Amino acid sequence: MVRILPMASSIRPSLSSFRSAAAAGPPSRFAAPFASPSHNSCRPLSLLHLGSAVPQSLSFGLKASKLLRGEGSSTAVSAAGNIAQASTAATEENVLEWVKKDKRRLLHVVYRVGDLDRTIKFYTECLGMKLLRKRDIPEERYTNAFLGYGPEDSHFVIELTYNYGVDKYDIGAGFGHFGIAVEDVTKTVDLIKAKGGKVTREPGPVKGGKTIIAFIEDPDGYKFELLERGPTPEPLCQVMLRVGDLERAINFYEKAYGMELLRTRDNAEYKYTVAMMGYGPEDKSAVIELTYNYGVSEYDKGNAYAQIAIGTDDVYKTAEAIRLSGGKITREPGPLPGINTKITACLDPDGWKTVFVDNIDFLKELE
């Protein structure tokens, strides 16, 4: 696995460079940890290379059509080329506009653990999650368990992956933590302590604010932030990832993923800035917390954290929007062999992986 090493910089961003906060308003095989991404053939994207040829259906007039065949002046050729470029730009705009209207939702977060039964026991007894389903794939030598606070068709859940014979992973420095909203942080921490869990930050108000929080670690060393909130439909509420350029990350998640910038917060004393991105308000939806640490542009990501899965109405359009936004497609859009669930996978500008899953196919799988 290629590791990305930290690289220091003396440049500290000004908070004014970030836009003001916006108004409030997959199944296990996706994460086989050491397998190369599948590049199965799929139907071609009709929007992939619009700039490389002039569509025959465009009516440029007789003169333009002659020029495209090699007749006429260079000025007219240039004009025809400008028309083609304008058509391409309009199509790109349509794709990116479609992203905003796509019915998207965070489905699950995938990561690897060294002892599946031990982790399930901790999450159910200490964090109050339910084991939703478990699946063993002996031919590929891994087992999955899905846990959460409600059914997968309406809640953000955790997908744990255990690979036969692998009992330890490197979490790295890029992954931050998961967030869980609880009604009483102190009681939750007391329960975790009684079960032998590790508390790394005792309950108390967040620095510079009033929200009561605490930090704990699960048996594999993944950090969880406990946030004191009232009743919420989505207790599994955050995934925090570190990025090297916050403005670049925000732009990508807005354009390619169709997320909203919910808010930003700069902490000059501790030299970091965060941006909350999601498909709904923080108190009702799971969000991604992007964190920029002053002067750090790259991180060692380890091999423990895998990806987030997001539902979409069209994986083909999704892949095109990702390309237009500067993302890297690691799995071309199309159906998975054997089950026909359509997916596409990509990397964001910082190398974090996301898998998009067809909404209808996902519900069929759950059945």
Is 93 among the annotated ligand-binding positions?
Answer: no
Residues that are catalytic: 225
Q: Strand (E) positions, the chain?
A: 105-112, 130-137, 142-148, 157-163, 175-182, 198-205, 212-217, 223-228, 236-242, 260-267, 272-278, 287-293, 305-312, 328-335, 342-347, 353-358
Is 140 among the annotated ligand-binding positions?
Answer: no
Pairing of strands 175-182, 223-228: parallel
* Cα distances (angstroms) measured from residue 346 to each of 9, 18, 26, 267, 308: 27, 25, 14, 31, 11
Distance between CA atoms of 57 and 271, rounded to whole angstroms? 55
Q: Do residues 226 and 213 lie in contact, with contact meaning Cβ atoms separated by under 8 Å?
A: yes
CB burial class (10 A; 0-12, 13-18, 19+) of residue 293?
middle
Is 225 among the annotated ligand-binding positions?
Answer: yes
DSSP 349: T
Give the distance, in angstroms, between the CA of residue 38 and the centroid of all CA atoms in the same chain: 19
Tell me how crowded residue 167 is: count the other CB atoms within 10 A of its CB. 10
Interhelix angle 61-68/74-101, nearest 10 degrees:
100
3-state SS class at 195 = coil
Contacts with 239 (C-beta within 8 Å, 6 or more apart), sequence order: 109, 178, 179, 286, 287, 288, 289, 308
Q: Residue count of the chain, please give it.
A: 367
3-state SS class at 264 = strand
Distance between CA atoms of 224 and 176, rounded to whole angstroms? 9
Binding site for Zn(2+), by residue number, is: 159, 177, 225
Binding site, by residue number, is: 159, 177, 225
